[in-house]
Amino acid sequence: MTDIIIIGAGPAGMTAAIYARRAAKSVLVLEALSYGGQIINTPDIENYPVAAHISGFDFATKVYEQAQALGAEFKFEKALSVEDNGAEKIVRTAKNSYTAKAVIIATGSQNRKLGVENETKLVGRGISYCATCDGAFYRGKRVAVVGGGNTALEDALYLADIAEKVYLIHRRDSFRGEELTADALRARDNVELVLNSTVRELHFDKRLTSVTVADKAGNPREIEVSGLFVAVGRIPENSDFSAVLELDRAGYAVASENCRTKTPGVFVAGDNRVKDVRQLVTATADGAVAATEAIRFVNEH
Answer for which of 24, 33, 47, 76 binds ligand NAP (CB under 6 A) is 47
Binding mask 108-127 for ligand NAP (x = CB under 6 A): ----x-xx------------
* Catalytic residue (choose from 134, 155, 271, 286): 134
Q: Contact between 41 and ligand NAP (CB under 6 A)?
A: no
Nearest residue (CB) to ligand NAP, 166 versus 244: 166
Nearest residue (CB) to ligand NAP, 28 versus 185: 185
* 259 assigned to active site: no
Q: Return left, alpha or beta for 140; rule: phi > 0 is left, psi -120 to 50 is alpha, else beta.
A: left
* Catalytic residue (choose from 58, 84, 130, 240): 130
* Catalytic residue (choose from 3, 44, 84, 133): 133
CA dist., res. 219 & res. 290, Å (int):
49
Nearest residue (CB) to ligand NAP, 151 versus 272: 151
CA dist., res. 133 & res. 127, Å (int):
12
DSSP string, 189-243: TTEEEE-SEEEEEEEESSSEEEEEEEETT--EEEEE-SEEEE---EEES-GGGTT
Least distance from C-beta 206 to ligand NAP, angstroms?
26
Binding mask 169-208 for ligand NAP (x = CB under 6 A): --xx---x---------------------x----------
> Beta 208-215 vs 197-204: how paired, if at all?
antiparallel
* 133 assigned to active site: yes
Q: How far apart are the first and last CA of the chain?
A: 13
Binding mask 225-254 for ligand NAP (x = CB under 6 A): ------xxxx--------------------
Tell me the site size for ligand NAP, rule CB under 6 A: 23
**Which one, of 269, 83, 29, 227, lies nearest residue 143 by Cα?**
227
Query: Which 82-101 residues touch ligand NAP, going by CB under 6 A?
Result: none
184: helix, strand or coil: helix
Query: Which 265-284 residues touch ligand NAP, going by CB under 6 A?
Result: 278-279
Element (H, E) at 27: strand 27-30
Query: Which 141-170 residues touch ligand NAP, going by CB under 6 A?
Result: 146-152, 154
**Which one, of 101, 112, 107, lies nearest residue 240 by Cα?**
107
Least distance from C-beta 279 to ligand NAP, angstroms?
5
Q: Where are the alpha helices (DSSP H) in the chain?
A: 11-22, 56-69, 131-134, 150-160, 179-186, 280-300
> Beta 227-230 vs 142-146: how paired, if at all?
parallel
Beta-ladder partners of 208: 204
Nearest residue (CB) to ligand NAP, 31 versus 155: 155
> Please, how many CA atoms are within 13 Å of residue 121, restricted to the half-sphere of its CB?
10
**Which one, of 197, 228, 231, lies nearest residue 111 by Cα?**
231
Least distance from C-beta 233 to ligand NAP, angstroms?
3
Active-site positions read 130, 133-134
User: Binding residues for ligand NAP, per CB under 6 A?
Assistant: 42, 47, 112, 114-115, 146-152, 154, 171-172, 176, 198, 231-234, 278-279
